């Protein structure tokens, strides 16, 4: 009985691990950034940890100085206050110290910003994302028959018809009816604009966040290093349904993407269902294989 219980828990754990490997999304009590799916996001995660080596000591130093001032220079312990008006050593320290710390922060920060906004590779796929109140419209600017569709929040009543009843993979308030589909390991250029008010396209796992401004075309890029289903949201307050404007990107193999793109040129819904069936079937096979290996 005990062995069966352990085997059951192992199988459940393997299934959960398999699902988490294919769908990146926020989770309850999350303390850090989402797992990186691009090299840019890896650098962002590194920079976050790097800055802590400056933030924590500075915070502790300020706390200690405040405690010293409160205790040593309180009125009861120091009835006659000091009339010191200048101290050259202190002036030099609190001027050079912050300058040096800021240089150590600024240099890698500028390098990261350059990498984010000035790619060194030529794009292999271009997608235009347009924000509306309150959904996204996408246009694939490739091929003889360009693909375009709208992506709206998936309603609970539509889950069964869409085949997206698994809330672990298609979570509430993040799942959409039509995901953006891109190939793994390819440089994707993303053109972002808006049709009404200011929105913002944010995909945490990709390290992408850029404003969508009416009348302006902003450009960013990403290259996903692994397959999976990734979720983001509009990150600019854009009206009453701002919280219901998710972004979903499905990263697949090049062959799967080519098949989807060809089918989507005539029928996006059917192409999505066929792609989802093939991907979900592969994920279930992985989960079963992991369980058997245990």
Confidence of residue 227 (pLDDT cuts 50, 70, 90): very high
Q: What is the pLDDT of residue 283?
A: 52
* Number of domains comprising the chain: 2
Q: What is the pLDDT of residue 282?
A: 54
**Statement to judge: residues 150 and 279 lie in one domain:** yes
pLDDT tens-digit map of 181-191: 999 999 999 99
- What DSSP element (H or E) covers 121? none
Residues 247 and 95: their CA atoms lie apart, in Å, by 45
- Are 189 and 221 in contact, with CB atoms under 8 Å apart? yes
Q: What is the pLDDT of residue 123?
A: 93
Cross-strand pairs, 220: 190
Q: In this structure, is residue 49 part of a structural domain? A: yes
Q: Give the up-direction half-sphere exposure of residue 170: CA atoms within 13 A in the CB hemisphere.
A: 20
User: E strands of 112-198, at which residues?
Assistant: 125-132, 135-140, 147-151, 180-183, 188-194
**Statement to judge: residues 59 and 110 lie in one domain:** yes
The CATH number assigned to the domain holding 279 equals 2.60.40.420
Is the model more confident about 17 or about 36? 36
**Statement to judge: residues 271 and 142 lie in one domain:** yes
pLDDT-wise least confident of 2-6, 75-79, 119-123, 206-210: 2-6
**Statement to judge: residues 133 and 61 lie in one domain:** no
Q: What is the pLDDT of residue 274?
A: 92
Is the model more confident about 22 or about 9? 22
Nearest CA to 201 among 257, 151, 166? 151
Q: What is the pLDDT of residue 72?
A: 87
Number of other CB atoms surrounding residue 293 within 10 Å: 8
Is the model more confident about 262 or about 17? 262
Average pLDDT, integer, range 11-22: 40
Domain residue limits at 54: 39-78+85-117
Q: In this structure, is residue 131 part of a structural domain? A: yes
pLDDT exceeds 80 at position 172: yes
Q: What is the pLDDT of residue 6?
A: 43
**Statement to judge: residues 97 and 134 lie in one domain:** no
């Amino acid at each position: 009985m005990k062995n069966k219980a352990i085997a059951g828990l192992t199988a459940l754990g393997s299934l959960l691990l398999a699902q988490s490997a294919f769908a990146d999304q926020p989770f309850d009590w999350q303390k850090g950034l989402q797992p990186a799916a691009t090299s840019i996001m890896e650098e962002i995660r590194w920079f976050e940890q790097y800055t802590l080596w400056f933030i924590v000591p500075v915070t502790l130093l300020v706390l200690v100085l405040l405690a010293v001032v409160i205790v040593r220079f309180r009125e009861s312990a120091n009835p006659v206050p000091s009339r010191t008006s200048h101290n050259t050593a202190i002036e030099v320290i609190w001027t050079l110290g912050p300058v040096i710390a800021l240089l150590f922060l600024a240099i890698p920060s500028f390098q990261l910003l350059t990498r984010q906004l000035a790619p060194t590779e030529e794009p292999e796929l271009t997608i235009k994302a347009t924000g509306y109140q309150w959904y996204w419209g996408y246009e694939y600017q490739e091929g003889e028959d360009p693909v375009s569709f709208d992506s709206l929040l998936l309603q609970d009543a539509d889950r069964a018809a869409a085949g997206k009843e698994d809330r672990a993979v298609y979570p509430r308030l993040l799942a959409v009816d039509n995901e953006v589909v891109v190939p793994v390991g390819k440089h994707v250029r993303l053109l972002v604009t808006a049709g009404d008010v200011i929105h913002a396209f944010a995909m945490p796992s990709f390290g992408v966040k850029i404003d969508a401004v009416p009348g302006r075309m902003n450009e960013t890029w990403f290259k996903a290093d692994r397959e999976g289903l990734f979720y983001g949201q509009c990150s600019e307050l854009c009206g009453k349904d701002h919280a219901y404007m998710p972004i979903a990107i499905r990263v697949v193999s090049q062959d799967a993407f080519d098949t989807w793109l060809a089918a989507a040129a005539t029928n996006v819904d059917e192409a999505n269902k066929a792609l989802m069936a093939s991907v979900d079937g592969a994920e279930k096979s992985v989960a079963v294989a992991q369980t058997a290996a245990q």
